Amino acid sequence: MSIEAWYHSKKDRQFVDTTHKAAQPEPVLELRDAIALIVGLVVGAGIFKTPSLVAADAGGAWTMLAAWLLGGIVSLIGALCYAELATAFPHAGGDYHFLTRAYGRKLSFLFAWARLAVIATGSIALLAFVFGDYCSRLYSLGEHSSALYAALIVIVLTAVNIAGVKAGAGTQNWLTMVEVLGLLAVAVAGLVLAPAAATAAAPAAAEPGQPAFGLCMVYVLLTYGGWNEAAYISAELKQGRNNMLRALVWSMFILTVLYLLVNLAYLRGLGLAGMARSQVVAADLLQQVWGSAGARLISVMIALSTLTSINATIMVGARGNYALGCDWTVLGFLGRWNARTGSPTRALLLQGAVALALIAFGAFMRQGFETMVDYTAPVFWLFFLLTGVALFVLRWREPQRARPFRVPLYPLLPLAFCASSAWLLYSSLAYTRLGALVGVAVLAAGVPLLALALRRSSN
Per-residue pLDDT of the chain (459 residues; tens, 9 = 90+): 333 333 334 433 344 443 444 444 456 677 777 777 677 667 777 788 889 989 988 888 999 999 999 999 999 899 889 888 887 887 656 788 889 899 998 998 999 899 889 988 998 998 899 899 889 888 888 888 999 999 999 999 888 888 865 544 445 556 667 767 777 878 888 888 877 765 444 444 444 334 578 888 988 998 898 777 665 566 566 765 667 778 888 888 888 998 999 999 999 888 888 898 888 888 888 888 888 887 888 888 788 778 877 877 887 778 778 877 877 877 888 878 777 767 788 889 999 999 999 999 988 887 778 888 889 999 999 999 999 999 999 999 999 998 888 898 999 999 999 999 999 999 888 877 788 889 999 999 999 988 888 887 766
What is the model's pLDDT at position 16?
Answer: 40
If one counts the domains in the chain, the total is 1
Residue 2, domain member (yes or no): no
**Domain span holding position 45:** 28-453
Considering the entire predicted model, what is its pTM?
A: 0.79
Q: Are 260 and 62 in contact (CB under 8 A)?
A: no
CA distance 137 to 202: 23
Q: Give the span between the Cα atoms of 189 and 241, in whole angstroms.
A: 40
Q: Are 227 and 42 in contact (CB under 8 A)?
A: yes
Q: Is 459 a member of any domain?
A: no
Classify burial at 26, counting beta carbons within 10 Å of its beta carbon; exposed 0-12, middle 13-18, buried 19 or more.
exposed
Assigned domain for 183 exists: yes
CATH code for position 303: 1.20.1740.10
Q: Would you say residue 68 lies in a domain?
A: yes
- Please tell me the predicted confidence (pLDDT) of residue 332: 81
The answer to whether residue 17 is domain-embedded is no
Q: 20 in a domain, yes or no?
A: no
Question: Could you tell me the CA-to-CA distances from 164 to 37, 92, 135, 170, 320 in Å, in that order?
Answer: 25, 22, 26, 17, 16
What are the φ/ψ torsions at residue 26 (nearest 5 degrees)?
Answer: -85, 140
| Side chain identity at residue 23, one-letter code | A
pLDDT of residue 209: 36
- The span from the CA of 102 to the CA of 115, in Å, is 19
For residue 208, being part of any structural domain is answered with yes
Q: Is residue 155 part of a domain?
A: yes
Give residue 197's pLDDT: 65
Torsion (CA) 351, 354, 356, 360 in degrees, nearest 10 = -170
